[in-house]
Amino acid sequence: MNINFELYRVFYAVATAGNISRAAKQLHISQPAVSKAIKKLEEQLGGPLLIRTKKGVTLTSEGEVFFLYVKQAIENFYAAEDKFSDLINLETGTVRIGSSMNVAKEILLPYLSTFHRKYPKINIQLIIDHSAELIEKLKNGLLDVILMNHPTYTDNDMNITKLQRVHDCWIASKKHYPHLYGRPVPLTEMYQYPILVPTARALWQMMYDLFKNAGIDFKPTMQLDNFDLCYEFTKYGFGISYSIKEFIIDRYENDDVFILDTPSIAPFRYICLATSKRHLLGFSTKKLIDVILENHGNNE
């Protein structure tokens, strides 16, 4: 049975108002138009819904049961309209964004702060994980947007935007490794000391290739969860660690930590913003992406 939704809307108004004239005023149509719509609905359903009286209308017993279902459907429909309006106007909504701990701290946080000031009613769900896991969550629809290292492969399932250029480096403590400060240090010499690296799998192949080209079978001494831990362990003399210049630039000189003059993984690479081509973005997510792209610096 294919019944025009407008007929249900008219019936709902009449049953709620208990009067055809009041319903007509609410709907901004004429009384004859209301009566005609009710008659048409009754014909299509195959039975009477209303009993006309001098004081107005009452529902038949069948009409009362029918009204319970129509009332729920109509009110859900109006609630959906209101919800949609709130989403468009960013009065409600949720953004699910993922990144590594260091990217969240050093790059993402200022963008989230700007977004939160502009749209305080939007709920932000931040998931911290490694790039490979974040990509999997993004593809499965568990995240809306992620910040990650630029992939070394082509992924046709993701939209990828270069966001910020970063530079790899190796760092050591002046107190514990003063003899390495201020001079070139080849990888073969550096590898004589304990090597600390983050556990991010995206970096491992690049590190392996770097040392392999120097004739070294790369086996780090210690694996730590993130760059911050690598930095802190380096500061206390546990060894030489891999880092990113942009993540330590404001603190390494004060901590007597220095950047070694040694080959890096690459001259530079990018932190990127990625979304899935498989899933539609909500209004809140689109606005967050707009905020990020409008406020990020030169990525060249």
Q: Of all residues in the chain, what percent carry a pLDDT higher than 90?
A: 41
* Span 141-152, pLDDT tens digits: 899 999 988 776
Mean per-residue pLDDT, 120-131: 89
Which residues are paired to 126 by β-bridges? 97
**Confidence class of residue 300 from pLDDT cuts 50, 70 and 90?**
very low
Report whether pLDDT(53) > 70: yes
* Span 149-196, pLDDT tens digits: 877 666 788 999 999 899 989 999 999 999 999 999 999 999 999 999
Report whether pLDDT(115) > 50: yes
∠ CA 77-78-79, nearest 5°, is 90
Give the least confident one: 17-21, 76-80, 131-135: 76-80
**Confidence class of residue 298 from pLDDT cuts 50, 70 and 90?**
very low
- At residue 152, the pLDDT reads 63
Average pLDDT of the chain to the nearest whole number: 87
Quickly tell me which residue has 């950047």 as its tokens. 259
> Cα–Cα distance between 61 and 80 in angstroms, integer?
29
Q: Of all residues in the chain, what percent carry a pLDDT higher than 70?
A: 94
Q: What are phi and psi of 172, to 5 degrees?
A: -150, 170
* Span 82-105, pLDDT tens digits: 677 766 767 778 889 999 888 998
Give the least confident one: 116-130, 135-149, 263-277: 263-277
Quickly tell me which residue has 């003399």 as its tokens. 237
- At residue 273, the pLDDT reads 95
Query: In the β-sheet with 257-259, what is the strand arrangement from edge to edge?
Result: 222-224, 195-198, 240-244, 168-173, 257-259
The pTM score is: 0.67
- At residue 297, the pLDDT reads 59
Report whether pLDDT(203) > 80: no
**Contact partners, residue 3, CB within 8 Å, separation at least 6:** 41, 44, 45
Nearest by Cα to 271 from 23, 104, 62: 104
**Confidence class of residue 255 from pLDDT cuts 50, 70 and 90?**
confident
Judged by DSSP in three states, 277 sits in coil
**Confidence class of residue 250 from pLDDT cuts 50, 70 and 90?**
confident
Number of other residues whose CB lies within 10 A of the CB of residue 88: 10
- At residue 89, the pLDDT reads 67
> Cα–Cα distance between 156 and 88 in angstroms, integer?
29
Strands 222-224 and 195-198: parallel
- At residue 153, the pLDDT reads 65
Mean per-residue pLDDT, 68-80: 84
What domains lie within the chain, and their CATH numbers?
Answer: 5-69 (1.10.10.10), 94-165+270-295 (3.40.190.10), 168-267 (3.40.190.10)
